[in-house]
Structure 1
Amino acid sequence: MSAPHVEEAGARGPLLLCLHGIGSSSAAFAPQLAGLAEHARVLAWDAPGYGKSPDPEGPLDLDGFADAAAGVIRSYGPSAHVLGVSWGGVIALRLATRHPDLVDSLIVADSSAGSGADEAKAAAMRARAAELADSGARAFAERRGPRLVSDLADASLVARVVDTMADAVRLPGYGYAAESMAGADLRAELSAVTAPALVVCGDRDTVTGVEASQVLAGGLHKTAYVIVKDAGHLANQEQPERFNAWVLSHLHIVTR
């Protein structure tokens, strides 16, 4: 499989790989690429089949996406701290159990254990590929993007979220991603994660929600759990200064 596209910032400090949500791309981490570059070597990928990354040669499951992320780490390596937002957090958790030697720590933001624990959520996730095929990326993004931020978000952020989604998603990659989420229920493997973790959630996240983050925090052994005030599902974009401060605090603790 061809290497995914990666945006880079920063020349020194710990390596931090950022994995975006299911409707997004590396563009979602612009606030982290800008705000953390003085303190870390920040990488943000376009997942296989997203944005500027080539389409995968065949179907990818959750293990396949985790292995692709492992390949990115190895190309910069030898290991990295991994920040995953939403679907990216699910990939990060699987990466941490599948390739524990590559993961120094985790930051899992506005995420969940996957949609596989709930039949209705899994079915809705699987239906997204057909919705994208029927409506096209722009209309798909205009329907889905605004709900990812809170009612406090300004119009410019909503527009950026919609534009990022419209530019990022396409088939077959989005369909593979949706299936990887629909089939995932990581609750039983959380206790196998050995890397220290920070679980972050916006207090106004209505997509995965605070409860899903609490499940992750409760299932992980070496974990801290924090709430980002006045943020929806995309806390890293809606409250970047607060979010970045928590990330830097975590990195300081785990690297000292």
Structure 2
Amino acid sequence: MTAYDLAGLHLEESGHDGPLVLCLHGIGSSSAAFAPQTEALAAHHRTVAWDAPGYARSADPEQEMTLDDYADTAAEVVRARGTEAHVVGVSWGGVIALRLATRHPDLVASLTVADSTPGSGTSPEKAAAMRARVPELEHLGPRAFAEQRGPRLLSEDAPPELVRRVVDTMADSVRPPGYASAAESMARTDLRGELARVTAPTLVLCGEKDRVTGPEASQVLAGGLHKTAYVIVKDAGHLANQEQPEHFNAWLLSHLHIVTNTRTMKG
């Protein structure tokens, strides 16, 4: 049993054959964030992107969820498909993915962690800033909250239509119950002590112009992991997978290809 009823979880699925790829979005987003990746993966992979509990079309959690709860819910999504998954996590989704890899290593074939962080619990200041977002959302409402925060997720050179799409996705996805639970899970988390326990081969990517978590946080992740490659995505902000999808997808597909071939040779 998990802390969240999977019957209330909305999943976007594409592709029919090939290895499973599970996509976990950031704290202000939804499954819609992975449209550029699901299209690129569809020919040779089965892709599942979730609306996290309390986001977009997924039901609100009945109780506050910890990072372990999110990881366990993701594990059940994978387990229900009778296989293991290549897990792609952006920002908060990357934090969930890393915890998933330490709690359920048998379900994780590889990780791709983009523009992420060890968590907001690495300092009292970061934890307080994360918790402060919740009353801000409650006061402003989803639309004004998204208008204020959304543009910073991209580089200053991002095209206006992409900025609008990111803002609209956030406005349509966030609600206080789900966002509050996600923010608290981040505020309580510091992954630095458990990174060495991750056994899955991991690709760490970060937008060159990430103004939210920044390359420094991704470097901490890459430095703490054993089987890792670290890539800077040029001309991209915090949402590198959406701002530079061709470059992002090229690295992702290469990583999946290398992992799959390596496992085949060992098998």
Shared fold, TM over 0.5: yes
| SS of equivalent residue, structure 2 residue 44 | coil
Matched, 1:48 2:53: yes
Select which of 173, 177, 184 maps to 2:182: 177
Conserved 8 A contact 2:20-2:83: no
Q: CA–CA distance in 1 between the matches of 2:160 and 2:53? A: 30
Select which of 70, 87, 100 maps to 2:92: 87
Identity level (%): 71
Alignment partner, residue 241 of structure 1: 246
| SS of equivalent residue, structure 2 residue 194 | helix
Select which of 240, 245, 256 maps to 1:251: 256
Q: C-alpha deviations, 1:25-60, integer Å up to 9, x for none? A: 000001111121112111110000001011112110
Q: How many residues align?
A: 256
Q: CA–CA distance in 2 between the matches of 1:96 and 1:245? A: 23
Q: CA–CA distance in 2 between the matches of 1:100 and 1:36? A: 23
Alignment partner, residue 106 of structure 1: 111
How far apart are residue 71 of structure 1 and its match? 1.1
Q: CA–CA distance in 2 between the matches of 1:120 and 1:55? A: 28
> Deviation above 2 Å: which 4+ runs of structure 1?
none
How far apart are residue 77 of structure 1 and its match? 3.2
Matched, 1:198 2:190: no
Aligned-partner residue type, residue 2 of structure 1: D
How far apart are residue 135 of structure 1 and its match? 0.6
Q: CA–CA distance in 2 between the matches of 1:107 and 1:235? A: 12
Select which of 209, 215, 223 maps to 1:218: 223
Alignment partner, residue 5 of structure 2: 2
Select which of 108, 111, 121 maps to 1:116: 121
Conserved 8 A contact 2:94-2:113: yes
Q: C-alpha deviations, 1:147-192, integer Å up to 9, x for none? A: 0000111000000000000000002110000000011100000000
Select which of 20, 24, 36 maps to 1:15: 20
Alignment partner, residue 128 of structure 1: 133
Q: CA–CA distance in 1 between the matches of 2:192 and 2:95? A: 11
| SS of equivalent residue, structure 1 residue 116 | helix
Alignment partner, residue 38 of structure 1: 43
Which TM-score applies when normalising by structure 2? 0.95
How far apart are residue 119 of structure 1 and its match? 1.2
Matched, 1:74 2:113: no
Q: CA–CA distance in 1 between the matches of 2:201 and 2:28? A: 27
Q: CA–CA distance in 1 between the matches of 2:65 and 2:217? A: 25
